[in-house]
Structure 1
Amino acid sequence: MITKGRFLPTLVLGIGGGALAYWLHTPLPWLLGAMLATTLVSLTGVRLRPPSSSRKAVLVVIGVMLGSAFTPDLSGDLPLWGASLVIMLLATAVMMAFSVWFSRRVAGYSLDTAMYSGVPGGVSAVTLMAMDSNADLRVVGLTHAIRILILLIAIPPLLQLIGHVSLQSGGISLAQWLWLPTLEDAAWLTAAAVAGVWLGNWLRLPNALLFGPALLSAALHLTGVTEAAIPPTIITLAQVIIGVSVGVRFAGTSLIDVGYNLMMAVVQTIALLLIAILAAWIVHALTGYSLAAALLAYMPGGAPELSLVALSLGIDPAFVTSHHLLRITVLILLMPVLLSRFKRLSA
């Protein structure tokens, strides 16, 4: 109870930032508003309590929500997904190669630090793996945090530039805010959440709390067993907590002390973003698939954040989630092999 109480001021700050952004009709108001509010306060030196159990619960909820995007009418798009997934893996290889080269040759980091900070995604799993290596965890954590921050800030103008995507935050009625699913739908959603966590752990999925419920929820929705949806109030709270989770990573960070690492992280992120934009444009040109969906699917990092953005904006969340799941799974499986190979080459 004490831990939850300590998180309450952070949550209130996040809700306040989200409410202000919502009032100003900014894109992605609850996510970006909460993220920017907590980031700014953290950078002043105030240590905000991060969400722990709250974030875990939100990951499960997001997983169930993402699974609901997999409807029976997706079958016609699956052949296009295959080509896109291949291009995404090739783009990921280019991103990884650039990140390691940049971190080693330009930033001057150790091989372990370069590898783990350069992975375009899977920050939670990557950080845990880095703890068992000789990597500088501060550099790894800062690089991933800066990358997610920049990506989320860059999304609205990029999508606005692409066009055909409505980013304006429209108000919804009180009745819509208070809408709740039926008891039967609530039971299906709860079952997908609980059994999905078990499934994710059993399959040893990366980010099991997110992708386990997503897989089970997708199976239920694809087969037409249920069409259950998540209430808007819960979706809003999920966006706030995810935004807060990014912002509090800068707690106690002094920009003067970490200026060099910050600059390296920013340059690396911009380069990876450019690679993602190029790859998204290529798959759009070859397949005619949505450029906005491809862009969110190819962005280097933040699977929960980017999948939630896709869901919030209605930009093919099933497509985006599938790409991030495949990329994170492949990267985590290959990381030990790649690190060993690079060490032998540099020996």
Structure 2
Amino acid sequence: MKPQKIIQQFIFAIAVGFLFYWLNIPVGWLLGPMIVGILYATILGYSQPLPPVFMTLGKAFLGLATAVRFSPDTLILAANYAIPLLLCIAITGIMSLFHGYLLARFSGIDRVTGLLAFIPGLASSIVAIGEEMGADAVAIALFQYLRLLLVIVIVPTLATFLFPANSESPNLIPILTVDQLSIPFVSNLFILAICCGLGIWGGNKFNLPASGFLGTFIVGLIVFWTFPDYIQVPQWLFKIGLLFVGLSIGLKFDFQTVRKLFKAVLIEAVLVISLIICCLAIGYGFHRVAEVDIVTAILGLTPGGLEAMIATVVQLGGDTSLVLAMQLTRMLMILLLTPWLTAFVSKQDQKDV
């Protein structure tokens, strides 16, 4: 893509991001650029993906912003909720598979494609697994993308409307100034840059899921726990991360593929909304049983959109570290079970034929 086009896209994305932020729209720095990207790709008639470096950096910045708020106490807290947490994750997983079955049943696509369309999180890994199993990788990518869009638009908006932000919450990332830093501003940024570089490299080296995010999160966690009173993550870096991720997602919108699978897309949209409602109910149940605040419970069990959920919990003042622990636990279960489950369904389809 030409640099002029990239600059143009970022100018529009920044303008709409400021507008959404001024209007207090939930996760405005993520939603605004994402909408700009969708409109841009729709007008041209085909996807206009940014160079992958922007998505990678965006996830890395969000990984740093999450790590700085992740306390060791969260690990103990998550362990205390292990049984109800695993039970709720299992229920949401079963509901996701059931909705995938319904998608295949009513749209006419094969069962493996329908199943993988509703596996929450790890979209790139899910597409790769589907391709290996002989499923329609293009359709899986579209359905995963649509699910992500709906989750990002609906859940933060609904959560913000039902549970307004608590401005006094200690969980909110502070807006830092140079005077508040314990080390020089340039040195602070240099250390953060090293964390990003090592995190991205390590995430790719060890094939971590959501490598840009998780690799940087782990490196940042080590640094922030080692020097808790020195290194800080500025608020503007968090917003840049949202901007990069939102615009990258939006520009991947492929209108031509949507037209080819129009019936399946409509069915999936209805099913995704149904799944979101089910997950909200499960989250409420987890809130009552585990006595975790309802914002944390709902966002922790939302089916996908890790970056958006982290951004939302930052805005609303829930327990970001517990939301991350819940989302990552689900990711790990998905990584372990999806290849086996997909192979099983594929064999059953072959027997039916």
Same fold (TM over 0.5): yes
**Counterpart mapping for 1:24-35 below 5 A:** 24-35=23-34
What is the match of residue 152 of structure 1? 152
CA distance, structure 1, for counterparts of residue 179 and residue 7 of structure 2? 23
Q: Would the aligned equivalents of 1:10 and 1:49 in 2 still touch at CA under 8 Å?
A: no
Taking every aligned residue pair, what percent have the same amino acid on both sides? 21
**1:247 equivalent in alignment to 2:246:** no
Partners of 1:241 and 1:165 in 2: CA distance: 24
Runs of 4+ displaced beyond 6 Å: 177-181
Offset of 1:266 from its aligned partner?
0.3
Supply the AA of the counterpart residue of 1:324: Q
Counterpart position of 2:139:
139
Look up the equivalent residue of 2:101 and give its one-letter code: W
Amino acid aligned to 1:245: S
Counterpart residue type for residue 148 of structure 2: I
Contact 2:176 2:234 survives alignment (8 Å): no
| AA matched with 1:308 | A
Distance of aligned partners of 1:317 and 1:77 in 2 relative to their CA distance in 1, 3 Å threshold: same
Tell me whether 1:260 sits opposite 2:259 in the alignment. no
- The residue type equivalent to 1:334 in the other structure is L
AA of the residue aligned to 1:37: V
Separation in 2, partners of 1:175, 1:63: 18
The answer to whether the 8 Å contact 2:56/2:212 transfers is yes
- What is aligned with 1:92? 92
Match of 1:220 in 2: 223
Q: Say whether the 8 Å CA contact 1:112–1:135 is kept in structure 2.
A: yes
**Superposed, which structure 2 residues align to 1:167-178 within 5 Å?**
none
Cα shift at 1:178: 11
Residue 212 of structure 2: aligned partner:
209
Please point out which of 334, 338, 341 is paired with 1:335. 338
Work out whether residues 68 and 227 of structure 1, in 8 Å CA contact, stay in contact via their aligned partners in 2: no
Residue 257 of structure 1, CA deviation: 4.1
Q: Provide the C-alpha distance between the structure 2 equivalents of 1:179 and 1:48, rounded to a whole number of angstroms.
A: 43
2:287 corresponds to 1:288: no
**Bigger shift: 237-246 or 199-208?**
199-208
Partner of residue 309, structure 2: 306
TM-score (norm 1): 0.86
What's the counterpart of residue 171 of structure 2? none
Provide the residue aligned with 1:22 in structure 2.
21
Shift of 1:192: 2.6
Query: Does the CA contact (< 8 Å) of 1:211 and 1:325 recur in 2?
Result: no
Q: Give yes or no for contact 1:177–1:232 (8 Å, CA) kept in 2.
A: no
> Which residue does the alignment assign to 1:171?
none
* Secondary structure of 1:120 counterpart: coil
Check 1:41–1:203 CA distance in 2 against 1; reply closer, same or farther (3 A cut).
Answer: closer
User: Quick check: 2:129–2:339 contact (8 Å CA) kept in 1?
Assistant: no
Give the CA deviation at 1:246. 2.4
> What's the secondary structure of 1:44's corresponding residue?
helix
The residue matched to 1:299 in structure 2 has which SS?
Answer: coil
**RMSD over aligned Cα atoms:** 2.9
* Cα distance change on mapping 1:177 and 1:35 into 2, 3 Å: farther
How far has the Cα of 1:10 moved from its partner? Answer: 2.1
State the distance in 2 between where 1:55 and 1:177 align. Answer: 28
- Structure 2: state its 5+ residue gaps: 168-174
Whether the 8 Å CA contact 1:45–1:252 is kept in 2: the answer is no
Residue 63 of structure 1, CA deviation: 1.4
Within the candidate set 339, 344, 347, 2:347 is matched to 344
* Residue equivalent to 2:121: 121
The number of residues matched between the two structures is 340
What TM-score do you get using the length of structure 2 for normalisation?
0.85
Q: Larger deviation: 43-52 or 202-211? A: 43-52
Are 2:85 and 2:286, in contact at CA under 8 Å, matched by a contact in 1?
no
CA distance in 2, matches of 1:46, 1:20: 26
Change (3 A) 1:322 1:19: same
Structure 1 range deviating more: 201-210 or 251-260: 251-260
